[in-house]
Amino acid sequence: MSKRKSNKSIADVDVPDLKEAVIECVRFIVCREGSKIPIKRAEVVKHLETTCSTPSNLVNKVVLEANNTLKRVYGYKLIQIEKKSDPKYIIVLDEDCESLDSSTLDQDQRRLLISALLHIFMSGGPVKEDDMWMFLSEAGVLDENDYAGRKIMTKTFTRQMYLTYTKVGDGDMARTVFDWGQRATEELPKMYLLKKMAEAFEKSPDHWCEQYKAATEETGSNT
């Protein structure tokens, strides 16, 4: 049975079977979204094979239809990442938003993340680990000896793809840096951060020329 079904073409598959697979795919993605951990395509394939006996050559169509349902019903969309060897998906808001999606972040984590992303943005690029800890401590966001908070930065936020945490350079020049992750780029408008900065310092957003240019260009590319 499985062999016959796996050889089905898109034209041969029954519409009810396809609809069932799409519904199950949407359910799986929505359930997984709570963790913010990227979903491996292999996990989607395995789940559809197990629950609906969906042949592998139909998975792309099922995912495409599931994405349409996510947009129409939930206001979310799938973004495929790491396309070459191990494709994964993240789910983000379909429409541009004015702030970070906080559905799975508590207030302290949200404040920590926005502070880190803001520091990277205002610094103009990747920030060295030691400089990040110093900034967060001086800003009163993360105590110097709060190792649980540091783990959220280096583990949780990186797994969720809000941040990247990578080693650059070799030998004595080696250092670890933080930068924006792909989920942050997709979810958080830079103009939102710049406006927050402007409010805090009672300035106009264009006071920071370089950052204002970057934020304006991002806004223009998304319209």
In order, the DSSP letters of 107-156 are: HHHHHHHHHHHHHHHHHTS-EEHHHHHHHHHHTTSS-TT-HHHHHIIIII
> Tell me: the pLDDT tens digits for 93-113?
877 655 555 555 688 999 999
Please tell me whether residues 116 and 62 are part of one structural domain.
no
Is a pLDDT exceeding 50 seen at residue 163? Answer: yes
CATH code: domain of residue 115? 1.10.10.1210
Q: What angle do CA 189, 183, 136 make, to 5 degrees?
A: 75
Please tell me whether residues 89 and 117 are part of one structural domain.
no
Residues 66, 74: contact at Cβ < 8 Å?
Answer: no
Given 27, 58, 93, the domain boundary residue is 93
| Residue 211 covered by a domain | no
Given 63, 93, 123, the domain boundary residue is 93
CA pair distance 204, 112, nearest whole angstrom: 24
CA pair distance 9, 55, nearest whole angstrom: 9
> Tell me: the pLDDT tens digits for 166-187?
999 888 788 999 999 999 998 8
Please tell me whether residues 69 and 137 are part of one structural domain.
no
Domain that holds residue 158: 107-188
